[in-house]
Amino acid sequence: MNKILLILLLLPQLALSNTLPRQLAVPGGIINIELGSIETPAPEVFFQDKRVLIIENNRKWIAVIGIPLKSKAGVHSILVKSTNTTTEYNFDIVDKDYPAQYITIKNKRMVNPNPDDIKRISSERPAINKALNTWTEQPVEELLFILPVIGRLSSPFGLKRFFNNQPKNPHSGLDIAAPTGTTISAPAPGLVINTGSYYYNGNTVFLDHGQGLVTGYFHMSKITVKAGQIVEQGTKLGEVGETGRVTGPHVHWNVYLNKTKVDPALF
């Protein structure tokens, strides 16, 4: 009898403790820092002057911090602002040597855009940046994601990339390869904040999950949601395609925390 009671008492706690993303103290990774009891009001947390997501876990406030890929190894800190106090918390980042990847792109304008393409790319940037810089105060419902596409993980996050032997930005997301037309689903509840057809990203959907947790889905053949629409975990967002800069049909999945791209595999 006592044993059953104990298990029942432990169960909700176990479920709650599972909702944090996996911690990985490297550039492109995530740090979870316990801040204190939820009996005190939620503090505001800043990392490199950017607001950080706070979630309740086991009756404690936890800061979930995205570490930029460009971060140097060493000690970093967050500022925790409560009603009357500001406290600094330190944490360590170690280096990670992401492997290199060499990709051949047949459409040369996707590697070296012409002046008209460059104009288009810069005209698209404000809409994309606006989506990525979204901050909404509502509590985050779900940090335990489902995979947006059933398919093959074809390219991990963080690879140093060379397109036609030219060094480019590192791989900012996780690629899942699947046939054109495969359903792309929302990995967690959220709000559609932007849909569009962009030069490199192709047909794109951005979701806001609250408190700076934003996800993006690129290269779609079809978009089946509209900006302003609320989605549940599993709601169809569209279909896999090969629009934008690709070598074959896949979804490129981005996850942003505090305006920083992090490894989606940690969710």
Measured CA distances, 205 to 48, 116, 253 (Å): 27, 24, 10
Task: Label the pairing between strands 160-163 and 100-103.
Answer: parallel
Closer residue to Zn ion, CB minimum distance, 27 or 210: 27
Interaction between residue 252 and Zn ion (CB under 5 A): yes
Q: Which is nearer to Zn ion, 173 or 241 (CB)?
A: 173
In terms of CB distance, is 252 or 259 closer to Zn ion?
Answer: 252
Mapped onto helix, strand or coil, the DSSP state of residue 5 is: helix
Count, residues near Zn ion per rule CB under 5 A: 3
Query: Whole-number minimum distance, CB 252 to Zn ion, in Å?
Result: 3
Give the residue with the Cβ less far from Zn ion, 7 or 102. 102
Burial of 105 (0-12, 13-18, 19+ CB in 10 A): middle
Name which of 27, 47, 46, 25 is nearest 92 in CA terms: 25
Handedness of CA 63, 69, 75, 77 (dihedral sign): negative
Cβ burial of 258 (10 Å; 0-12, 13-18, 19+) is buried
By CB under 5 A, which span of 99-107, 114-122, 143-151, 249-257 interacts with Zn ion? 249-257
3-class SS of residue 67: coil
Stretch that binds Zn ion, among 18-26, 91-99, 235-243, 250-258 (CB under 5 A): 250-258
Residues 6+ apart with CB under 8 A from 22: 30, 266, 267
Place of tokens 């090969």: 242
**Residue type for position 190:** G
Q: C-beta of 101: minimal distance to Zn ion in Å?
A: 10
**27 or 158: CB nearest Zn ion:** 158
| Identity of the residue, 52 or 177, whose beta carbon is nearer to Zn ion in the bound complex | 177
Q: Which helix (H) or strand (E) is 17 found in, with range?
A: helix 2-17
> Counting contacts by CB under 5 A, is residue 263 touching Zn ion?
no
Stretch that binds Zn ion, among 9-17, 39-47, 89-97, 175-183 (CB under 5 A): 175-183
Our finding on whether 175 is near Zn ion (CB under 5 A) is yes
Stretch that binds Zn ion, among 14-22, 40-48, 226-234, 247-255 (CB under 5 A): 247-255
Q: Which is nearer to Zn ion, 46 or 267 (CB)?
A: 267
Residue, CB closest to Zn ion: 252
> Shortest gap between Cβ of 177 and Zn ion (angstroms)?
10
Note the residues at the interface with Zn ion (CB under 5 A): 173, 175, 252
